[in-house]
Structure formats: structure tokens, C-alpha cells
């Protein structure tokens, strides 16, 4: 019992030593960023020199230190302070690298190229980020959980079904984007910041969907042959009208959401999606370049909307005199000292069967 109590005391002292004091939080976060960058740089530069087990120990210790400080930092309000967000994000990045090293120790040569390894790595990241977002009320961890969840679902589809082409991936990305939008709308009133980040994640899924068509743009706008794309594993098929409509609707929706709620993140992602739409829809068809379909549709819709906004205005007729009467004068309510008792102490008037 004495030894167990001593261990508890030592553990409590260790946790207290790792708990950042609020007035030193900014300094600790400023030091945690270069520390995390240094660990990542060591992983990249000495990858062929050091053993995988050494990297696993190094990354795990760095993750425990940085992420532990972020989790132990006391909350001073409804949301974590900026230094706590920095510690949580840096710790999760180090945790992701440690999971990759763990997969290598378990026998995976290229964990991020193997569907099974990608599945459990991104699943752990998604669950951990979601737990941090819920327990620490860290909104910035919501997009981490959402993006890692998207990667985990794609890895699951690749691992179980092994789709031959990118068509399955595109449909999965579209379905995940719809789910994220519905989740964002459900949280819009209760958790506004989390809702915005879910919209950002949905926009990222749509942007990734557009990237799957980048091979067609490379062929259309460069002299790179089809065989080179096939050698690199990049699909060369051009998008159909339906996928172009998805990109256009999603981009316009993100920009409109940003304008209504005054959030810059969806605006940036929506602009990128619309630029992707222009890049892909601008590829000439097999019959040659023409104004059909999207150029004509967009020009007509834009012209009609601008014309409706610039149409001549009709002045409202003047308000008839006496339509709005003067407000009745206000009179103070009678109370104690103002003509007799009032309220609960006021006497009710006599009824017809009672003497006055």
C-alpha cells in the first residue's frame, strides 16, 4: 500500500510538472512548435539511418509531451485558449507520425500505401480527435476528426472492395460531403464553430472529388501523353455533366454560406472548388469548343440576376396623413403613497349583493 501511494504521489507530481500555467502558455506553445518541427525533420532526414524502433520511441515521447500538455492545460472559459489549440494540434501531428512508425514496426513497409494500415491509422486519429473535441471543447479538432474519418472510410472501401477505378471513390466522397453538411446544419445553432469546420471538411471532400479528374485537365492543357498518366496511375477520364454540376453547386453553396454567416474558410474552399469547375468544364468536347452547355447557362443566369438587381426602382407612395396616430399618453400606476393601496393590498370593489 505504501508503495502504491508513493507511485500515486510521484505520478501526481509528474502531471503537475507537465501542466502549463496559464500565464506561460503562450511561451510553451511557441516552444512546442519548433520542437515538433524538429522531430518531424529528424524523421525525414534520418529515415534511412536510424532504426524504426528509435523513431517510434522518439515520436511517442514527443507526442506524449506536447499532447499531454495540451490535455492537462486548464480551461479558463468555454473554449481552450490559443496556446492550448496549438499544443493539441501539434500533439496530434506527432501522434500521427508515431502511428505510422508503429505500423512499420508491426511489419508494414509503406503504411500509407497499404489500405489496411491506412484504415486503422486514420481511424485512431479520427477517434482521438473527436474525443479531444468533445472533452476539451476544441473546435479546431473537429475538422481533424472529419478529414481523418474521410481518409479512414476511403481506406476501408479500398481494403474491402478494391475498386478498379476512381468512380467508387467519387461517390463515396460525395456521400461523405452530404453527411458532413447535414451534421453541420444540425449543429449550426448549438455549436456554431464546429458547424463551420464541418462545412470546411465537406468542401475539402468535394475538392478532393474534383482532383480525381485532374488527369483530364493535364491532357487538355499540356502536351503530356496519356501513357504517362497511365504509368503514374492518374485517371485520364473527363468529368460528365453530372459531376460538373456537383462541383458548381458545391462551390456556389460554399461561397453563399460564407457570405451569409461571414466565415472566410468556406469562401476559400468554395473558390478553389469553382476554379476546379472552370478548369474541368473548360475542356473542349470531342466535337470542338462551343458555348454549349455551361458557358451559355452561366451567362444567362448571371445576366438575369444582375439585370434583376439593376432594374429601375419604384418609389413607395407617401404615407397618408393620420395613418399613424399619436401614441396614447402614459400614466403612472397607482401605488402606496399615491392615492391609496394597490397591487395585492388594494381592496376589490363591492359586488352587487354586498353592501358598499
Structure confidence at residue 180 as a pLDDT band (50, 70, 90): very high
Q: What is the pLDDT of residues 271-329, one digit of tens each?
A: 999 999 999 998 887 777 788 889 999 999 999 999 998 988 888 777 777 656 556 66
pLDDT at 225 over 50: yes
Mean pLDDT of 188-201: 92
C-alpha cell belonging to residue 243: 459531376
Neighbouring C-alpha atoms within 13 Å toward the C-beta of 165: 6
Distances (CA, A) of 68 to 41, 236, 260, 333: 21, 46, 38, 63
Q: What is the pLDDT of residues 108-161, one digit of tens each?
A: 989 999 999 999 999 999 999 999 999 999 999 999 999 999 999 999 999 999
Can you count the helices (H) and strands (E) in the chain?
13, 0
More confident residue, 207 or 342: 207
Cα–Cα distance for residue pair 14/352, rounded to 1 Å: 84
- Other C-beta atoms lying within 10 Å of the C-beta of residue 179: 17
Cα–Cα distance for residue pair 156/150, rounded to 1 Å: 10
Cα–Cα distance for residue pair 32/85, rounded to 1 Å: 12
- Other C-beta atoms lying within 10 Å of the C-beta of residue 329: 5
Neighbouring C-alpha atoms within 13 Å toward the C-beta of 224: 17
Q: Tell me if 103 sits within 8 A of 85, measured CB to CB.
A: no
The conformation of residue 353, written as its DSSP 8-state character, comes to T
Q: What is the CA radius of gyration of the chain?
A: 31
Cα–Cα distance for residue pair 87/140, rounded to 1 Å: 11
Backbone angles phi and psi of 40, in degrees to 5: -65, -40
Cα–Cα distance for residue pair 122/99, rounded to 1 Å: 9
More confident residue, 188 or 67: 67
Sequence-ordered list of residues with C-beta below 8 angstroms from that of 258, at least 6 positions apart, any chain? 264, 265, 266, 267, 270
Neighbouring C-alpha atoms within 13 Å toward the C-beta of 22: 6
Q: What is the pLDDT of residues 238-269, one digit of tens each?
A: 888 899 999 999 999 999 999 998 999 999 99
**Nearest C-alpha neighbor of 241 from the set 276, 212, 280, 272:** 280
Distances (CA, A) of 304 to 100, 138, 281, 292, 308: 54, 44, 22, 18, 6
Cα–Cα distance for residue pair 249/88, rounded to 1 Å: 34
C-alpha cell belonging to residue 157: 472501401
The pLDDT value given to residue 322? 63
- Which single residue is written with the C-alpha cell 501511494? 5
Structure confidence at residue 208 as a pLDDT band (50, 70, 90): very high
Mean pLDDT of the chain: 87
Cα–Cα distance for residue pair 32/231, rounded to 1 Å: 42
Cα–Cα distance for residue pair 329/111, rounded to 1 Å: 80
pLDDT at 343 over 50: no
pLDDT at 344 over 50: no
Give how far the C-alpha of residue 7 lies from the chain's centroid of Cα atoms, to the nearest Å: 41
Mean pLDDT of 26-54: 95
Structure confidence at residue 345 as a pLDDT band (50, 70, 90): very low
More confident residue, 340 or 72: 72
The pLDDT value given to residue 190? 86
Cα–Cα distance for residue pair 216/207, rounded to 1 Å: 15
The conformation of residue 288, written as its DSSP 8-state character, comes to B
Mean pLDDT of 334-341: 52
- Which single residue is written with the C-alpha cell 453527411? 179
pTM, two decimal places: 0.81
Helix, strand, coil content of the chain in percent (nearest 5): 70, 0, 30
Q: Read out DSSP for 209-273?
A: HHHTTHHHHHHHHS---HHHHHHHT---PPP-HHHHHHHHHHHHHHHHHHHHHT-HHHHHHHHHH
Amino acid at each position: 500500500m505504501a508503495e502504491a501511494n508513493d507511485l500515486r504521489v510521484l505520478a501526481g507530481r509528474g502531471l503537475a510538472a507537465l501542466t502549463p500555467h496559464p500565464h506561460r502558455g503562450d511561451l510553451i506553445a511557441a516552444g512546442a512548435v519548433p520542437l515538433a518541427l524538429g522531430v518531424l525533420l529528424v524523421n525525414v532526414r534520418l529515415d534511412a539511418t536510424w532504426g524504426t524502433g528509435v523513431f517510434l520511441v522518439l515520436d511517442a515521447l514527443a507526442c506524449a509531451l506536447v499532447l499531454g500538455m495540451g490535455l492537462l492545460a486548464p480551461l479558463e472559459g468555454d473554449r481552450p485558449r490559443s496556446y492550448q489549440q496549438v499544443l493539441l494540434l501539434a500533439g496530434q501531428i506527432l501522434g500521427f507520425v508515431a502511428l505510422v512508425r508503429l505500423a512499420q514496426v508491426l511489419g508494414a513497409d509503406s503504411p500509407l500505401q497499404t489500405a489496411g494500415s491506412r484504415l486503422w491509422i486514420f481511424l485512431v486519429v479520427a477517434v482521438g480527435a473527436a474525443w479531444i473535441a468533445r472533452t476539451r471543447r476544441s473546435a479546431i479538432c473537429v475538422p481533424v476528426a472529419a478529414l481523418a474519418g474521410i481518409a479512414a472510410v476511403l481506406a476501408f472501401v479500398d481494403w474491402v472492395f478494391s475498386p478498379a477505378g476512381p468512380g467508387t471513390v467519387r461517390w463515396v466522397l460525395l456521400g461523405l460531403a452530404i453527411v458532413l453538411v447535414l451534421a453541420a446544419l444540425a449543429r449550426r445553432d448549438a455549436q456554431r464553430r464546429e458547424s463551420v469546420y464541418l462545412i470546411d471538411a465537406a468542401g475539402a471532400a468535394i475538392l478532393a472529388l474534383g482532383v480525381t479528374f485532374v488527369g483530364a485537365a493535364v491532357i487538355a492543357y499540356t502536351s503530356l501523353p496519356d501513357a504517362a498518366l497511365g504509368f503514374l496511375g492518374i485517371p485520364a477520364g473527363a468529368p460528365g455533366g453530372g459531376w460538373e454540376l456537383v462541383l458548381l453547386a458545391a462551390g456556389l453553396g460554399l461561397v453563399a454560406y460564407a457570405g451569409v454567416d461571414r466565415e472566410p474558410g468556406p469562401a476559400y474552399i468554395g473558390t478553389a472548388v469553382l476554379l476546379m469547375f472552370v478548369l474541368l468544364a473548360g475542356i473542349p468536347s470531342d466535337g470542338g469548343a462551343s458555348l454549349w452547355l455551361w458557358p451559355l447557362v452561366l451567362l444567362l443566369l448571371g445576366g438575369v440576376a444582375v439585370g434583376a438587381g439593376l432594374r429601375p426602382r419604384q418609389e413607395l407612395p407617401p404615407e397618408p396623413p393620420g395613418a399613424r396616430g399619436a401614441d396614447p399618453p402614459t400614466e403612472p400606476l397607482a401605488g402606496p403613497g399615491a392615492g391609496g393601496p394597490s397591487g395585492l393590498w388594494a381592496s376589490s370593489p363591492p359586488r352587487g349583493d354586498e353592501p358598499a
